[in-house]
């Protein structure tokens, strides 16, 4: 069972699908079609969300997509994230998912492997910064979803990816150290959550 606070947050996302711009709806449908094609072939669909530092947007997309898959009962889907560089899952982004209702275990360290949970019944998601080709991630037959324009432009070829799509977001780090910091991170978290839930809702209707 999804945590009650998170469930309330999700209910708000579902009622907000109409706010997604039409061009982004088209992009999200393209990814949903890829996932559906894998499922029709009875193959595991693996999505690797890629940004520059694997510190904010790619983690948020990974977490929300996996949560949405569980919410809609979509099986045989795994999500990953990576960067063109490795840093750490930014604490500001971690705080944003906690405010949304996730439970997070932080083992501390320079690049901690956070355990992120949407339910006590499900295995936690292991989230830490890594390069997109890290051994933790799939090395073939996966979709590369580019969540930042810098990574998209600087990484024209993703080895092993059989599908690639650019779905970029403005980096919330623009608000770091300002009085709008939490607000901006919450806004980006909600935007990514809304779009990933919409994408997974299309899969449910396509099955």
Q: 23: which residues sit within 8 A by CB, 6+ positions away?
A: none
Q: How far apart are CA 108 and CA 106, in angstroms?
A: 5
Q: How many domains does the chain have?
A: 1
In this predicted structure, the answer to whether residue 207 has a pLDDT above a threshold of 70 is no
**Is residue 27 included in any domain, yes or no?**
no
In this predicted structure, the answer to whether residue 71 has a pLDDT above a threshold of 70 is yes
Tell me the pLDDT tens digit for each residue of 103-139. Answer: 999 998 999 999 999 999 999 999 999 999 999 999 9
**Is residue 100 included in any domain, yes or no?**
yes
Give the tokens for residue 125: 């998601």
**Is residue 148 included in any domain, yes or no?**
yes
Q: Tell me the residue range of the domain where 163 lies.
A: 4-8+45-206
Compare 204 and 77 and report the one with higher pLDDT. 77
Q: Output the pLDDT for position 118.
A: 98
**Is residue 19 included in any domain, yes or no?**
no
- Token look-up 């944003």 returns 96
Q: What percent of the chain is modeled with pLDDT above 90?
A: 93
Q: How far apart are CA 79 and CA 148, in angstroms?
A: 17
Tell me the pLDDT tens digit for each residue of 132-182. Answer: 999 999 999 999 999 998 887 877 789 999 999 999 999 999 999 999 999
Tell me, what DSSP letter sits at residue 103?
Answer: E
- Picking from 80, 73, 96, 84, the residue whose alpha carbon sits closest to that of residue 193 is 96
Cβ(83)–Cβ(53) below 8 Å: yes
The CATH number covering residue 138 comes to 3.40.50.2300
Q: How far apart are CA 155 and CA 166, in angstroms?
A: 11
**Is residue 24 included in any domain, yes or no?**
no
**Is residue 158 included in any domain, yes or no?**
yes
């Amino acid at each position: 069972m999804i945590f009650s606070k998170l469930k309330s947050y999700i209910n708000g996302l579902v009622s907000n699908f109409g706010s997604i711009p039409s061009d982004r709806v088209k992009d999200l449908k393209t990814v949903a079609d890829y996932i559906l094609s894998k499922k029709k072939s009875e193959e595991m669909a693996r999505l690797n969300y890629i940004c520059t530092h694997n510190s904010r947007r790619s983690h948020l997309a990974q977490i929300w997509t996996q949560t949405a898959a569980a919410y809609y009962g979509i099986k045989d889907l795994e999500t990953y994230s990576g960067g063109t560089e490795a840093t750490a899952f930014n604490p500001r982004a971690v705080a944003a998912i906690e405010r949304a209702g996730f439970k997070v275990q932080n083992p501390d360290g320079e690049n901690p492997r956070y355990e992120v949970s949407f339910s006590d019944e499900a295995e936690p998601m292991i989230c830490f910064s890594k390069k997109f080709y890290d051994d933790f991630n799939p090395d073939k037959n996966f979709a590369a979803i580019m969540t930042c324009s810098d990574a998209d432009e600087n990484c024209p070829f993703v080895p092993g990816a059989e599908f690639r799509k650019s779905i970029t977001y403005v980096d919330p780090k623009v608000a770091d150290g300002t009085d709008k910091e939490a607000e901006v991170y919450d806004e980006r978290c909600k935007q990514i959550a809304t779009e990933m839930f919409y994408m997974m809702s299309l899969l449910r209707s396509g099955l």
